[in-house]
Structure 1
Amino acid sequence: MSTTAVTDPKYYDVVEATWPCLRKEELGAITLRVGAGGGSRVSAATAEAEVSDDQIAEAEAAMQALDQPRLFMIRDGQVDLDAQLDRLGYVVMDPVVLWTCAPSVLTDVPIPRVTTFDVWEPLAIQREIWETGGIGPARLAVMHRAVAPKTALLGRWDDKPAGVAYVGLHGDIAMLHALEILPHQRRKGMGVWMMRQAAVWAEQHGAAELSVLCTRANVAANALYSGLGMTEAGGYHYRIKH
C-alpha cells in the first residue's frame, strides 16, 4: 500500500486521544471502531497495511453487525486503499482539513472580560448549545471518554450565551472539537474569541500547538482558521458504501 503521507501521523494520534471511540476491535490489518452513535470520526475503520477485498468484505460485515455504516477513514498517502475502496463502490465523504498553529499566534490579543470561559464538566447551558447544533448525548459521551486534560469553552456576547467548544490535549498538541455558535450570535466575531480562549488554555497546559479539524465544505470555518493565521497541516477523508 502506498502511504507517502503529507500529514504527520502524530495528528491522527491526537484525534484518537482527544475524541476517542468507545472501543477498537482489530480485524487483521483493519481497525474497527465502535462509535456508539458519536459520529464518523469514532466509527470509521482504518487500514494499517495492505488489505484484500475479502478482508474489506469481512470488515463490512462486522460494521453492519455493529449497526454502523460501512465507513473507512483514508489517511494522507493511502492512495492504493482509496482506489481499492472506490473500485468496491465506496464514495468519498467529508474531506477534512487539519489546521494548526502555535498558541502564541492567538494569545497576542487580550480577550474582552467575561467574553469566554473554560470549565469542566460542561454546564447545562453548554450542553444546551451543543444540542441546538446537533451535538447530543452520544458526542458528549465522546468528550467524557477522553482521559487527557480537557475543557469545555463557553462564549458570551451581549451578556448572553453565544457559543461552546471542547478542547483536549495529547502530548504537546491541543485539539479543538465541536465548536458551535448559536445562530443568532454568528457573524459577531465569537468564533475568533473562542479560538483565542482555546489558545490561552492550550498555552496554560504546556501545548506547543493548537489544532482543529474542519470539513472542506465548511467555507466559513476554514476562512476563520486561515484568517487567524493557522496553517494547513494535512487532513483525511472518508469513503462510505451505501
Structure 2
Amino acid sequence: MTPEDIYATVEATWPAARLERSGPWTIREGRGGGKRVSAATAAEGWTEADLPAAEAAMEALGQEPLFMIRAGDEPLDAALAARGYRIVDPVTAYACPVGRLSAEPPAQMAAFPHWPPLGIVRDLWTESGIGPERVAVMERVAGPKCCLLGRQNDRPSGAAFVGLAGPFAMLHALEVTPALRRLGSAQAMIRRGACWAEAAGAHWFSLVVTTANAPARALYEALGMEEVGHYHYRLK
C-alpha cells in the first residue's frame, strides 16, 4: 500500500457525514466522529489567500479549523505553522498482505466478526470513549464491513471495526478492556479481522495509529505489519 492508498482507504472506511468541495479544499463535516472526519485537506493550486475561506467553512459547521497534513503537504504545513496552528496527533499507518495475518487464525472463541454491532460491543466501545457519533461513522461505510467482539477467559475483552475499500481492508476502533490487556485479545481480533477481510476479497490489511502509542505500534510490528505512511493534523 502507498500513502495515497492509505488516505483513500481512510476516507472510504471512516467516512465523514458530508464532504464539500470549496475551491482547493475538501471540507468535512464530522458530527462528533473525530479528527479524521472533520479535517480539511488541500488540492493542488491552493494559496495562502485561500486559507480564510477554509477556516470560515469549518467554523460555519461549528467545527474548529483543523487540517490534515499528508505527504506532499509540506508548504501547507509551513503556512499553517506561521499562522499559529499547532501539530496534534501525528499518525503512523501500517499495512501488510492480508495473508500474513490470516495464516495464523486465532482460536474460534477468541474473536467473533459480525454486523451490526452487538449491544456488548457498543458497551465496550462506550467504556473506552467511542460513543454513538463514532459508531455512526461505521454505519456510513458503504462497502463490506464487520465489527469484532473479542473474548478472553470467557469474558468479553474488546471490540474493533474493519471496513473494506476494494482490495484494501482497514482496522479501526480497536479497544481492549484494561483488566484484560496483554493477554492476546488485540492480536486475536486483528487476526480474525484479517481472516474476515481475506474472505471478503481484501489483499491488504491496514490501520492507522497515533505515533506516540508505542505499545500498539510494537504489537503491529510484531505481527509483521510495516510502516507505509504518516500524516498529522494542524489545529488553530
Fold agreement, TM-score > 0.5:
yes
Contact 2:3-2:230 at 8 Å conserved across structures: no
Q: Kindly report which structure 2 residues correspond to 1:51-66, keeping only aligned pairs within 5 A, or say none.
A: 51-66=46-61
d(CA) in 2 for partners of 1:25, 1:110: 41
Kindly indicate whether residue 216 of structure 2 is the aligned counterpart of residue 231 of structure 1.
no
Q: Which amino acid letter does the alignment assign opposite residue 147 of structure 1?
A: A
Return the offset for 1:109: 2.0
**Contact 2:94/2:228, CA 8 A, preserved across alignment:** yes
In the alignment, structure 1 residue 18 sits paired with structure 2 residue 13? yes
User: Of 153, 164, 168, which residue of structure 2 is paired with 1:169?
Assistant: 164
The 2-side partners of 1:18 and 1:90 are apart by 27
Query: Once structures 1 and 2 are overlaid, which stretch shifts more, 48-57 or 145-154?
Result: 48-57
1:113-141: CA deviation from partner (whole Å, max 9, x where unpaired): 31110000000000000001100010000
Letter matched to residue 221 of structure 2 = S
Match of 1:160 in 2: 155
- TM-score calculated relative to the size of structure 1: 0.95
- Which amino acid in 1 is paired with 2:177? L
Specify the alignment match of 2:216 in structure 1: 221
CA deviation profile, 1:168-206 (whole Å, cap 9, x unmatched): 000100000000101111111111111101110111011
Task: Decide whether aligned partners of structure 1 residues 104 and 7 sit closer, same or farther in structure 2, where only a CA change above 3 A counts.
Answer: closer
Q: What's 1:46 paired with? A: 41
**More moved, 10-19 vs 103-112:** 103-112
Q: Give secondary structure in 2 for the equivalent of 1:106.
A: helix
* Matched-pair contact (CA < 8 Å) for 2:27–2:54: yes
Shift of 1:7: 4.5
User: What is the total number of aligned residue pairs between the two structures?
Assistant: 236
Q: Is the 8 A contact 2:105 2:195 kept in 1?
A: no
How far residue 54 of structure 1 moved from its aligned partner, in angstroms, is 2.7
Identity %: 50
2-side partners of 1:48 and 1:7: how far apart? 18
Per-residue deviation, 1:52: 2.4
Give unmatched runs, 5+ long, in structure 1.
Answer: 1-5
